[in-house]
């Protein structure tokens, strides 16, 4: 295994024409179908970087920005944005193109945390990352920030008392009715 790899060495690009069978009841491409494709490309990118079988540890962010239409060509670009000991953050950009007009739109940005595993299912070390551009450095730094924010959010969530008496006044600001059963 190489000790370090460039971001470019592990990049993966896939394109797929969106069919009526991929649509939801509103005639747009179903978000679940896009999530399935995102998981596949994250696996491919992480496995390409690590040279190992990889599993999805978490889906940190999935921002659906614009709907995807039947007949559009969807292109997903995946890159390793961050590496830890056995984990990798895979950043994925999704664009849809109207193949008749050539008009493109950014539809989704996602961040998947993938973990490299050996044949026994134990986590294994992955190669480091060679950063060669300001954009790659920015993506790595943003991944560190996202990771730190996730830790803080998790810690706060576990330390907060969510009993109803603590939140009763706050809940009244929202569209909710409280009806306690006796």
* pLDDT(178) > 90: no
Note whether residue 142 is domain-resident: no
Note whether residue 92 is domain-resident: yes
CATH number at residue 96: 3.10.129.10
- Say how many domains are in the chain: 1
The pTM of the full predicted model, rounded to 2 decimals, is 0.88
Note whether residue 33 is domain-resident: yes
Is residue 24 a contact partner of residue 30, using CB atoms and an 8 Å limit? yes
Structure confidence by residue, pLDDT tens digits, 99-146: 999 999 999 999 999 999 999 999 999 999 999 999 999 999 999 999
Note whether residue 102 is domain-resident: yes
Mean pLDDT of the chain: 93
Note whether residue 156 is domain-resident: no
Give one DSSP letter per residue of 48-97, joined into a string.
Answer: HHHSSEEEEEEEEEEEE-S--BTTPEEEEEEEEEEE-SSEEEEEEEEEEE
Structural domain range at position 107: 4-132
């Amino acid at each position: 295994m190489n000790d370090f790899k460039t971001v470019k060495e592990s990049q993966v690009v896939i394109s797929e024409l969106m069919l009526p069978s991929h649509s939801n009841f509103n005639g747009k491409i179903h978000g679940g179908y896009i999530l399935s494709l995102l998981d596949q490309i994250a696996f491919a990118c992480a496995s390409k970087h690590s040279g190992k079988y990889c599993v999805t540890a978490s889906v940190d962010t999935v921002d659906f920005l614009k709907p995807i239409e039947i007949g559009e060509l969807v292109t997903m670009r995946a890159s390793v944005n961050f590496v830890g000991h056995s984990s990798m953050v895979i950043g994925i950009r999704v664009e849809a193109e109207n193949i008749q007009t050539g008009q493109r739109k950014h539809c989704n940005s996602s961040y998947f945390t993938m973990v490299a595993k050996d044949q026994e299912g134990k986590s294994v070390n992955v190669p480091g990352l060679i950063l060669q551009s300001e954009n790659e450095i920015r993506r790595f730094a943003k991944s560190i920030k996202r990771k730190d924010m996730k830790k803080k959010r998790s810690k706060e969530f576990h330390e907060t008392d969510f009993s109803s008496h603590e939140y009763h006044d706050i809940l009244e600001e929202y569209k909710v009715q409280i009806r306690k059963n006796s």
